[in-house]
Amino acid sequence: MDAALVQEFDRTDRHGTPISLAMMDIDHFKKINDTLGHSAGDVALAHLAKVVKNVIRSTDMLARYGGEEFTIILPGTKIDDAIEIVKGVQRDLTKNFFLNNNERVLITFSAGVAERFSDETVDETLARADAALYQAKQTGRNRVVGAPAPTQMPIMKSA
């Protein structure tokens, strides 16, 4: 993922095209692991990845970020379109239930989406997407929140 992010950020610099990043986190994943077992949790992660790959474009990339978190790299995509793509993943996930021992298990996720601004580093864009993800979790889960544009800190002049 790190190499793909650097490559895509370099490409956006060369071509002057937008790029957005989405951070996704499965809601209440600990409960899935605790009630269904860790092997079912692993299958749930694979199920989510399969649904995501069926929705995103061939130019987009999905990577596991850690635990139950995923990142989607969306080259050539402004934030409004990126939010719609991630909402489309949410819709497909509700249509494609995860089956555990022939029982339907509803999996939801929260997501934060950030569009990269000029000269912003990978880490800065990821941090804004992560902050938006945290806001999605804090405001009720199973939602997609767009990150605001980065703010410029005023230059402090010493007296």
Q: Measured between alpha carbons, how far is 40 from 26 in angstroms, rounded to an integer?
A: 14
User: Which DSSP symbol is given to 65?
Assistant: E
The question of whether 84 is a catalytic residue gets the answer no
Q: Which are the contacts of 82, defined by CB distance < 8 A and separation ≥ 6?
A: 20, 22, 74, 113, 115
Q: Out of 68, 84, 115, 124, which one is annotated catalytic?
A: 68
Q: Which two tokens stand for residue 131?
A: 């902050």
Q: Measured between alpha carbons, how far is 9 from 75 in angstroms, rounded to an integer?
A: 9
Do 112 and 132 contact (CB within 8 A), yes or no?
Answer: yes
Q: Measured between alpha carbons, how far is 104 from 97 in angstroms, rounded to an integer?
A: 6
Give me the sign of the Cα torsion angle 126, 129, 134, 140: negative
Do 60 and 73 contact (CB within 8 A), yes or no?
Answer: yes
By annotation, the residues acting in catalysis are: 68
